[in-house]
């Protein structure tokens, strides 16, 4: 898929001081007042706040986020309503979003929105294409932004909207947003009983909505407009999935802790079963891991999913209590001249809004604190993360909603009338649950219903280098550096360098050859940095990564009430948060936080649709 660069909106004001778009020659809202228009047309036109009261969830879908006034008006009405739904989802698409600073300047015109606008701006994502999910109001208001053309995004979204705000520039100025195809796309986004409101009463809009299955009628319009449209979806839509009463998770690594926290955030009680005495004992037990995406020229599904997961995970770093992480940035050095040329082209095309840039060798060396033989990508938002602290932080955030059962191995599962039953090594059933999530890493295929999944063991050793091993090198590198391997800044006096990869190798002990290999990787990254270091003097840790043949994780349904989250390979820190949010959304019927083609690319049944054969492990997971 070709990278779809996002062109930001240009802030401007018309003669009356109303925000205006030079590209479309139209205002963003009525000159009579944006807040009053939002309340009259979109909230009252959808019979809100009344319709969201005493519900667990209510979903609003909007065309054209613009300045965000409709969203802020809905959020404020929800906040002021004591009987409001437990969670408010607001899904909005925008072809030309504003940059954060421009949006801040425009929103400053409405001081009544100041507290909400401040929170929105703090979470505002870089202007990268695709879907961005923002959790606001303590995790009870969820803004899902689709940056891109509505005609392209609508067929790939899954929202279950209860109300539609049909907004945008006038049909004669931006006809594509009011087309019959878009109206049909809106109908597909709707849940049973969905309503719709818009300020436009153009005959073409009424006809397009009617053909899409909406019954529409007129009401008195706002300010100078005599009429507006309201309607409801007349055709039958399939019901959304029911909300689980409880769930059980097998696995206490980053996958298991992430899905437990995402389910707990929705008020679902979770029992987490882990064979080890505590969390993060397996592949999630490394001292430090790399957090950064991996773009490519084709903007492949792997690259798009990694970008979405990286941006979502970065927004959550500050939201996890006790997380040990360093937002130092990451430099990914080019391997050779051809690779460097590719990196330049990618950065030129995709380096928008602080997400990615290309740095020459001198600047890379300055960022790192050590001479290097070339430049590469710089991800300013990249980081190192201590995985065990991430697992603990996720469980701490979930608090009393998650009951942990450590030292509780699961040897067998079987289906019952009530859901799924778990057996321990003694063959005795010990727990029954209506929903079961398998998140136990390389152990997933050992449980019978998941035996067909092609998850393979990728043995990897990370070498540990003491920070004081040589004069003049303390505290270096200053940030994470990767190049067919990686090295992190010191944590607790130890740098991590690695990592090896061996398929189907169950040996848990470090080997001298592994350390030699990692020192060679380190020499390629930071020439001369570890000169004189004896491989036999190094400590390290062996981990077993759950690898999938296509390098994409697994997040989806295996059977009724049985789900899987895994196959993270060497990128569990990047994959875990958004993949857990996706799986929790699928389990509860919430709007999905990824496009449909990416959801399908992560679904475990994708392997059933492919020809047989044992796929090899990728040569590098770095």
Contact partners, residue 606, CB within 8 Å, separation at least 6 = 550, 600
399 and 539 housed in the same domain: no
Condensed to tens digits (0 to 9), the pLDDT of residues 136-182 reads 999 999 999 999 999 999 999 999 999 999 999 999 999 999 999 99
Q: Are residues 561 and 433 in the same domain?
A: yes
pLDDT of amino acid 235: 83
DSSP state of 442: G
- Give the model's pLDDT for residue 32: 66
Quick one: average pLDDT of 465-486? Answer: 92
The verdict on 462 and 446 lying in the same domain is no
For 110, 143, 396, 443, 573, the CA distances from 274, given in Å and listed in that order, are 50, 33, 16, 11, 19
**Position with higher pLDDT, 242 vs 439:** 439
Task: Count other Cβ atoms within 10 Å, centred on residue 19.
Answer: 20
Answer yes or no: is 3 within a domain: no
Residues linked to residue 187 through DSSP beta bridges, in sequence order: none
Percent of the chain with pLDDT over 70: 97
pLDDT computed for residue 447 by the predictor: 97
**334, 210: one domain:** no
pLDDT in tens, 478-534: 999 999 999 999 999 999 999 999 999 999 999 999 999 999 999 999 999 999 999
Secondary structure element (H or E) that encloses residue 215, with its range: strand 214-220
Tell me how crowded residue 390 is: count the other CB atoms within 10 A of its CB.
31
* Helix 572-588, helix 301-316: angle, nearest 10: 90
The total domain count for the chain is 3
> Considering the chain, what percentage of its residues have pLDDT values greater than 90?
90
**Structure tokens belonging to residue 169:** 């520039």
List, for residues 40-91, the tens digit of each pLDDT value: 999 999 999 999 999 999 999 999 999 999 999 999 999 999 999 999 999 9
The values of phi and psi at residue 563, to 5°, are: -130, 160
Q: Is the pLDDT of residue 408 over 80?
A: yes
Where a domain ends, among 530, 547, 564? Answer: 547
The pLDDT, as a whole number, for residue 238 is 86
Return the ∠ at Cα 499 (arms to 497 and 500), rounded to 5°. 140
pLDDT at 326 over 90: yes
Which structural domain, as residue segments, surrounds residue 198?
Answer: 20-233
More confidently predicted of 235 and 308: 308
Yes or no: say if 259 and 248 are a contact pair by the CB < 8 Å rule: no
Q: CB 418: neighbour CB atoms within 10 A? A: 10
The C-alpha atoms of residue 321 and residue 311 are separated, in whole angstroms, by 19
In a domain, 45, yes or no: yes
* pLDDT of 619 strictly over 70: no
609: pLDDT confidence band, cut at 50, 70 and 90?
low
Flag whether 603 is in a domain: yes
Residue 98 dihedral angles phi and psi, to the nearest 5° = -85, 150
**Residues listed for the chain:** 622
613 confidence band (pLDDT: 50, 70, 90) = very low
Q: Among 521, 547, 573, where does a domain finish?
A: 547
Q: For 242, which DSSP code?
A: P
- Residue 223 has a pLDDT of 85
Q: Which residue has the tokens 């047309």?
A: 41
pLDDT at 560: 96
> Average pLDDT, whole number, for the chain?
95
Residue 384 has pLDDT above 60, yes or no: yes
Q: In CATH, what number is assigned to the domain containing residue 473?
A: 3.30.9.10
Residues 6+ positions from 592 with CB-CB distance below 8 Å = 157, 158, 159, 582, 585, 586, 599
pLDDT at 622 over 60: no
Burial class (CB in 10 A: 0-12, 13-18, 19+), 548: buried
Task: Indicate whether 323 and 339 sit together in one domain.
Answer: no
Average pLDDT rounded to a whole number, residues 248-275: 98
Look up the CATH number of the domain holding residue 61.
3.40.50.150
CB contact at 8 A, 101 and 109:
no
Last residue of one domain, picked from the residues 190, 210, 233: 233
Asked if pLDDT for residue 119 goes beyond 90, the answer is: yes
Separation of alpha carbons 78 and 87, rounded Å: 9
15 lies in some domain: no
Average pLDDT for 404-429: 97
Closest among 541, 526, 578, 572 to 289, alpha carbons compared: 572
Structure tokens at 182: 């878009």
């Amino acid at each position: 898929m070709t990278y779809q660069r996002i062109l930001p909106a240009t802030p401007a004001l018309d003669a009356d001081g109303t925000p205006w778009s030079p590209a479309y020659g139209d205002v963003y809202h009525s000159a009579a007042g944006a807040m009053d228009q939002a309340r009259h047309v979109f909230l009252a036109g959808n019979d809100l706040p009344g319709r969201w009261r005493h519900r667990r969830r209510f979903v609003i879908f909007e065309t054209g986020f613009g300045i965000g006034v409709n969203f802020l008006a809905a959020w404020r009405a929800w906040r002021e309503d004591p009987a409001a739904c437990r969670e408010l989802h607001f899904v909005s698409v925008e072809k030309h979003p504003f940059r954060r600073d421009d949006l801040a300047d425009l929103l400053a015109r409405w001081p009544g929105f100041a507290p909400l606008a401040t929170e929105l701006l703090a979470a505002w994502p870089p202007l990268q294409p695709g879907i961005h999910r923002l959790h606001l109001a303590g995790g009870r208001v969820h803004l899902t932004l689709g940056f891109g053309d509505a005609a392209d995004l609508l067929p790939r979204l899954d929202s279950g909207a209860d109300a539609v705000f049909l907004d945008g520039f006038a049909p004669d100025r931006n006809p594509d947003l009011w087309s019959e195809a878009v109206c049909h796309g809106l109908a597909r986004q709707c849940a049973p009983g969905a309503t719709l409101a818009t300020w436009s009463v153009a005959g073409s809009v009424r006809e397009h909505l009617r053909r899409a299955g909406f019954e529409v009628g007129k009401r008195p319009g706002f300010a100078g407009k005599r009429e507006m449209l309201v309607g409801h979806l007349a055709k039958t839509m399939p019901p959304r999935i029911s909300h689980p009463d409880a769930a059980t998770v097998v696995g206490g690594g980053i996958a298991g802790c992430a899905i437990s926290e995402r389910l707990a955030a929705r008020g679902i009680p979770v029992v987490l079963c882990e064979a080890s005495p505590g969390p993060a004992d397996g592949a999630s037990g490394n001292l430090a891991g790399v957090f950064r995406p991996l773009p490519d020229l084709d903007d492949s599904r792997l690259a798009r999913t990694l970008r979405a997961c990286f941006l979502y995970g970065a927004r959550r770093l500050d939201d996890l209590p006790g997380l040990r992480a360093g937002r130092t940035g990451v430099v990914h050095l080019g391997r050779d001249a051809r690779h460097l040329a590719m990196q330049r082209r990618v950065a030129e095309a995709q380096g928008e809004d602080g997400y990615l840039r290309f740095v020459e060798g001198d600047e890379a060396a300055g960022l790192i604190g050590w001479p290097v033989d070339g430049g590469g990508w710089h991800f300013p938002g990249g980081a190192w993360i201590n995985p065990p602290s991430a697992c603990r932080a996720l469980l701490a955030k979930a608090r009393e909603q998650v009951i942990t059962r450590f030292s509780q191995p699961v040897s067998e599962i079987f289906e019952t009338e009530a859901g799924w039953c778990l057996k321990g090594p003694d063959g005795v059933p010990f727990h029954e649950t209506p929903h079961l999530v398998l998140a136990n890493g390389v152990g997933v295929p050992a449980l019978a219903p998941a035996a067909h999944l092609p998850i393979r063991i990728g043995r990897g050793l990370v070498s540990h280098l003491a920070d004081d091993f040589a004069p003049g090198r303390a505290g270096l590198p200053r940030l994470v550096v990767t190049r067919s391997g990686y090295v992190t800044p010191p944590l607790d006096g130890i740098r991590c360098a690695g990592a090896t990869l061996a398929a189907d190798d169950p040996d848990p002990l470090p080997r001298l050859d592994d350390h030699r290999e990692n020192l060679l990787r380190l020499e390629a990254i930071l020439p001369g940095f570890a000169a004189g270091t004896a491989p036999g003097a190094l400590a390290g840790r062996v981990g077993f990564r759950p690898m999938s043949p296509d390098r994409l994780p697994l997040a989806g349904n295996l059977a009724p009430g049985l789900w899987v989250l895994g196959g993270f390979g060497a990128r569990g820190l990047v994959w875990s948060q958004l993949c857990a949010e996706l799986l929790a959304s699928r389990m509860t019927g919430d709007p999905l936080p990824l496009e449909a083609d990416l959801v399908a690319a992560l679904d475990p049944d994708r392997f059933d649709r492919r020809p047989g054969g044992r796929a090899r492990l990728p040569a590098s997971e770095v």
